[in-house]
């Protein structure tokens, strides 16, 4: 048999662009154009700190178009910078796509991205080195919306402060993200979410000092599980079929190798196993997460679909069924022993985003993975109070804390000869 032709760089980017394009098409079908325009206006105006479901704020169609447009932008900017197609290309696009259903919009992401460009210019380095950090870092976009709505200030000073803060956030993200990675050593995949949590804590504390307060909120869409299950199943089954068509039996062999990886930060399945096996892995994880949500009585809506897309996106850079299932079951078990039910909004998001700790299950096994998920469910439901929901990657911050706490303990238990290496910090 002749060897199958490898996809070109342009074809890979085009294939990735089909996903946000799918969301745009679905949005146009679900909601009339006139309502979509009004819905997008509502999404731009509405405060969007956690938990704000754009399906409620602007309508399902407007939310999907908002997500699709920003997803396409993410694909385009990486392509325009002439960067190689990698696992992080997929992950960054899917995160922008998913979180644009409940927090990121076509107005509030730009100043943060601008700050990353400014950082690259200041250090006389090409922005391609930091662009993924910038795309991930738009998790702090609710701060931008909140500052623009500080009504006690005139419009011009308010706009100037908003732009300045956004640029500052983008400027400090690259060095801080690099620094905090050493703390959890790659055992939490949402590294920028951990850094963003620290930034959000500082910024929100300063905002409160000037009387800019945020109140907790819960805007949560319900009632369309069947529709969204069908739409997501079409998408994920398409990935599975595409993976199988791409390499056939070789796809399954490569998928088995993916299962054997720990998934620790820095993993790139596109480079290691190819596009076909990665697509197959993404589709399998997407179906698993979708039906897990439904099986435990959860709602499919903007935030939970965002969580599912996050799992799918990171399925190119570390996640697979063997290392996400124990973490999710750990959160699920928490619902039986803790003061909440798994199908409630915050626990449901913890269930999906807890998979930031997938490398712990991949490295130390199922039981430790279950323990990590169990601990994460408690931390994730409590740390957000320090920054008022302004960091959309709340579970990234929580996951970093759990990894820093749990990994050294497990390593010391596994190796009774383990000692603190280097000098003791006092």
Measured distance CA(333)–CA(346) in Å, rounded: 15
DSSP 78-140: HHHTTPPP-HHHHHHHHHHHHHTTTT--TTTTHHHHHHHHHHHHHTT--GGGTHHHHHHHGGG
Token readout for 9 is 């760089």
The residues, any chain, with a CB within 8 Å of residue 256's CB and separated by 6 or more, are none
The residues, any chain, with a CB within 8 Å of residue 177's CB and separated by 6 or more, are 133, 137, 191, 192, 195
Place of tokens 């820093």: 404
Other C-beta atoms closer than 10 Å to the C-beta of 2 total 4
In order along its 426 residues, the chain shows pLDDT tens digits of 334 567 899 999 999 999 999 999 999 999 998 899 999 999 999 988 899 999 999 999 999 999 999 999 999 999 999 999 999 999 999 999 999 999 999 999 999 999 999 999 999 999 999 999 999 999 999 999 999 887 677 889 889 999 999 999 999 999 999 999 989 999 999 999 999 999 999 999 998 888 877 777 899 999 999 999 999 999 999 999 999 998 878 999 999 999 999 999 889 999 999 999 999 999 999 999 999 999 999 999 999 999 999 999 999 999 999 999 999 999 999 999 999 999 999 999 999 999 999 999 999 999 999 999 999 999 999 988 888 889 999 999 999 999 999 999 999 888 765 555 554 444
HSE of 98, CA atoms in CB hemisphere, 13 A? 28
What's the start-to-end Cα distance of the chain, in Å? 64
Each residue's pLDDT tens digit, 68-91:
999 999 999 999 999 999 999 999
Of 216, 166, 145, the C-alpha closest to 388 is 216
Place of tokens 């009585």: 297
Measured distance CA(150)–CA(213) in Å, rounded: 9
Taking the whole predicted model, whether its pTM rises above 0.85 is answered as yes
Each residue's pLDDT tens digit, 259-269:
999 999 889 99
**How large is the angle between the packed helices 191-209 and 394-414, nearest 10 degrees?**
130
Measured distance CA(76)–CA(128) in Å, rounded: 13
Measured distance CA(247)–CA(254) in Å, rounded: 9
Measured distance CA(330)–CA(399) in Å, rounded: 13
Chain CA centroid to CA 55, Å: 18
């Amino acid at each position: 048999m002749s060897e199958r032709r490898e996809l070109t760089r342009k074809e890979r980017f085009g294939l990735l662009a089909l996903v946000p394009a799918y969301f745009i098409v679905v949005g146009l079908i679900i909601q009339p154009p006139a309502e979509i325009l009004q819905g997008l206006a509502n999404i731009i105006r509405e405060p969007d700190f956690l938990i704000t479901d754009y399906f409620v704020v602007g309508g399902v169609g407007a939310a999907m178009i908002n997500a699709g447009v920003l997803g396409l932008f993410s694909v385009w900017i990486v392509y325009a910078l002439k960067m190689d197609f990698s696992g992080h290309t997929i992950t960054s696009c899917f995160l922008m796509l998913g979180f644009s259903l409940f927090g990121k919009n076509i107005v509030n992401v730009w100043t943060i991205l601008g700050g990353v460009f400014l950082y690259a210019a200041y250090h006389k380095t090409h922005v391609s080195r930091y662009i993924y950090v910038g795309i991930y870092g738009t998790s702090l976009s609710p701060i931008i919306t909140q500052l623009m709505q500080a009504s006690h200030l005139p419009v011009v000073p308010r706009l100037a402060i908003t732009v300045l803060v956004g640029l500052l956030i983008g400027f400090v993200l690259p060095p801080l993200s690099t620094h905090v990675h050493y703390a959890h050593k790659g055992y939490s995949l949402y590294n920028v979410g951990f850094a963003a949590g620290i930034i959000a804590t500082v910024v929100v504390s300063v905002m409160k000092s000037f009387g800019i307060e945020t109140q907790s909120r819960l805007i949560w869409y319900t009632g369309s599980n069947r529709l969204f299950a069908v739409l997501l199943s079409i998408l994920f089954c398409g990935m599975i079929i595409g993976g199988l068509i791409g390499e056939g039996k070789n796809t399954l062999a490569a998928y088995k190798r993916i299962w054997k990886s720990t998934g620790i930060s820095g993993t790139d399945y596109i480079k290691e196993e190819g596009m076909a096996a990665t697509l197959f892995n993404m589709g399998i994880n997407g179906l698993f997460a979708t039906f897990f949500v439904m099986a435990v009585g959860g709602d499919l809506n903007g935030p939970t679909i965002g969580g599912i897309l996050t799992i799918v996106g990171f399925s190119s850079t570390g996640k697979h069924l063997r290392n996400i299932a124990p973490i999710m079951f750990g959160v699920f078990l928490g619902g039986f022993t803790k003061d909440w039910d798994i199908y409630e909004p915050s626990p449901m998001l913890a269930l999906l985003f807890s998979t930031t700790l997938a490398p712990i299950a991949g490295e130390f096994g199922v039981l430790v993975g279950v323990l990590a998920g169990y601990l994460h469910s408690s931390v994730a439901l409590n740390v957000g109070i320090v920054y008022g929901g302004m960091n959309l990657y709340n579970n990234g911050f929580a996951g970093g804390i759990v990894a820093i706490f749990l990994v050294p303990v497990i390593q010391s238990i596994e190796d009774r000869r383990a000692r603190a290496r280097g000098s003791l910090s006092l």
